[in-house]
């Protein structure tokens, strides 16, 4: 994975979080239910130390339900109320009120203010929109949609601050970078799309051997490279001169995975 992706606006976003922390009574830490470990920003853990926190495993509809149950139990053990949520349908949000009651009290004005933080594209704006029952915040399938901060009134006495996604400058473990790439947290321009897709195909073959062949019968018995070529050929993705366009095939595979068409997967095992 490229090491030159960490943009200046991320440092700015981190400063924004720090500056607004004193204004809120609670922080919603949004994690991607498919990668609860890899989507956790180690930089932010330090920033949030001591602040009341609710952990939200978002996109639960895309994660393996068994793994989600195990992750919920594990994160609760850390002492944070933890919910598994689908921000598109609202599934799981009924548990929010009780979680809040466990950790937070409104401020002096009687208004409870919360800050929603998490990596790019994890669904921060969607989560807020669902709670506010409207399209209060801009949402998009690409990382980096929310550029600045925005306060949204969920109810007359509950307000949420939407913030831009924040990553950290270096992934100690290259698998963390690959998992962030395949789940859509990194901009397509800064990742090696083909390497990410090949890694995903190999991962699926190892952990859910039937998943690829179920969606793509042509994948049966093929190594990842060969599978990607076949997929490109089958879809008619050719470069000028007749070579298979493996990048286009890679993008197609990643899109299917991100939209849940291959099934529900959790890429992070509990340590
Ligand atoms: N399947 C599924 N998709 C979701 C869920 N929540 C959000 N999404 C999708 O994820 C994408 C990103 O959502 P956003 O709400 O823009 O994410 P964000 O964290 O605000 O992203 P940035 O502002 O770019 O940091 C959009 O395509 C959403 O429709 C969910 O619970 N399940
Ligand atoms: Mg956003």
Same domain, 236 and 131: no
Query: Does residue 181 fall inside a structural domain?
Result: no
Q: Which of 162, 182, 216 marks a domain boundary? A: 162
Same domain, 217 and 147: no
Same domain, 157 and 197: no
Q: Which of 162, 180, 209 marks a domain boundary? A: 162
**Residues annotated in a binding site for GTP:** 58-61, 86-87, 121-126, 165
Establish whether residue 144 lines the binding site of ligand 1, counting it when its CB lies within 6 angstroms of any ligand atom: yes
Establish whether residue 183 lines the binding site of ligand 1, counting it when its CB lies within 6 angstroms of any ligand atom: no
Q: Measured in angstroms, how far is the CA atom of residue 183 from the centroid of ligand 2?
A: 16
Same domain, 199 and 245: yes
Same domain, 18 and 114: yes
Same domain, 156 and 204: no
Residue 47's contacts (CB-CB under 8 Å, 6 or more residues apart) are 14, 17, 18, 21
Same domain, 152 and 247: no
Residues near ligand 2 ion, CB 5 Å cutoff: 124-125, 145-146
Q: What is the DSSP string of the chain?
A: --S----HHHHHHHHHHHHHGGG-SEEEEEEETT-TTTTS-HHHHHHHTTS-EEEEEE-GGGS-HHHHHHHHHHHHHTT--EEEE-TTT-TTGGGHHHHHHHH----TTS-EEEEEEESTTSSHHHHHHHHHTS--S---SSS----S-EEEEEETTEEEEE------S--SSHHHHHHHHHHT-S-GGGS-HHHHHHHHHHHHHHHSTTHHHHH-GGGTT--HHHHHHHHHHHHT-B-TTS-B-HHHHHHHHHHHHHTTTT-----PPP-
Looking up tokens 């195909």 gives 201
Query: Does residue 267 fall inside a structural domain?
Result: no
Which residue, by CA, sits nearest to atom 7 of ligand 1?
A: 123
| Residue 82 · residue 55 · CB < 8 Å | yes
Query: Does residue 173 fall inside a structural domain?
Result: no
Establish whether residue 138 lines the binding site of ligand 1, counting it when its CB lies within 6 angstroms of any ligand atom: no
Same domain, 152 and 220: no
Number of domains in the chain: 2
Same domain, 23 and 121: yes
Which domain does 83 fall in, by range? 8-162
Same domain, 87 and 218: no
**pLDDT at residue 3, as a whole number:** 46
Query: Does residue 269 fall inside a structural domain?
Result: no
**pLDDT at residue 2, as a whole number:** 47
Predicted confidence pLDDT, tens digits, the chain (271 residues): 444 566 677 888 889 999 999 999 999 999 999 999 999 998 888 889 889 999 999 999 999 999 999 999 999 999 999 999 999 999 999 999 999 999 999 988 999 999 999 999 999 999 999 999 876 777 888 888 778 889 999 999 999 999 999 998 888 899 999 999 999 999 988 899 999 999 999 999 999 989 999 999 998 889 999 999 999 999 999 999 999 999 999 999 999 999 999 999 999 998 7
Which residue, by CA, sits nearest to atom 30 of ligand 1?
A: 59
Same domain, 46 and 137: yes
**pLDDT at residue 144, as a whole number:** 80
We report the CATH number of the domain holding residue 46 as: 3.40.50.300
User: How far is residue 87's CA from residue 95's CA, in Å, rounded to a whole number?
Assistant: 13
Same domain, 156 and 223: no
**pLDDT at residue 11, as a whole number:** 83
We report the CATH number of the domain holding residue 226 as: 1.10.1580.10
Query: Does residue 170 fall inside a structural domain?
Result: no
Query: Does residue 236 fall inside a structural domain?
Result: yes
Q: Which atom of ligand 1 has the smallest separation from the CA of 86?
A: 31
Q: Which of 147, 162, 177 marks a domain boundary? A: 162
Query: Does residue 100 fall inside a structural domain?
Result: yes
Query: Does residue 81 fall inside a structural domain?
Result: yes
Q: Which atom of ligand 1 has the smallest separation from the CA of 260?
A: 1
User: How far is residue 211's CA from residue 206's CA, in Å, rounded to a whole number?
Assistant: 10
pLDDT tens-digit series, residues 235-248 = 999 999 999 999 99
């Amino acid at each position: 994975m490229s090491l030159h992706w960490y943009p200046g606006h991320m440092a700015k976003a981190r400063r924004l979080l720090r500056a607004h922390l004193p204004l809120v009574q609670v922080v919603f830490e949004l994690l991607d239910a498919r990668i609860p470990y890899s989507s956790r920003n180690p930089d932010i853990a330090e920033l949030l130390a001591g602040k009341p926190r609710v952990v939200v495993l978002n996109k639960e509809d895309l994660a393996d339900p068994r793994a989600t149950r195990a992750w919920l139990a594990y994160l609760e053990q850390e002492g944070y109320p933890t919910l598994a949520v689908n921000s598109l349908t609202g599934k799981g949000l009924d548990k929010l009120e009780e979680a809040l009651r466990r950790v937070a009290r409104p401020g002096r004005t009687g208004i409870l203010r919360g800050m929603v933080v998490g990596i790019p594209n994890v669904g921060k704006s969607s989560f807020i929109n669902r709670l506010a029952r409207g399209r209060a915040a801009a949402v998009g399938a690409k990382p980096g949609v929310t550029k600045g901060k925005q306060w949204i009134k969920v109810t007359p006495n509950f307000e949420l601050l939407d913030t831009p996604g924040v990553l950290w400058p270096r992934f100690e473990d290259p698998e963390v970078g690959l998992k962030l790439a395949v789940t859509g947290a990194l901009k397509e321009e800064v990742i090696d799309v083909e390497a990410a897709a090949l890694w995903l195909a190999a991962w699926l073959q190892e952990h859910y051997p039937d998943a690829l062949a179920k969606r793509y019968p042509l994948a049966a018995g093929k190594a990842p490279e060969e599978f990607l070529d076949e997929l490109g050929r089958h879809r008619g993705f050719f470069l000028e001169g007749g070579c298979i366009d493996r990048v286009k095939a890679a993008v197609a595979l990643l899109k299917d995975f991100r939209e849940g068409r291959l099934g529900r997967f959790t890429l992070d095992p509990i340590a």
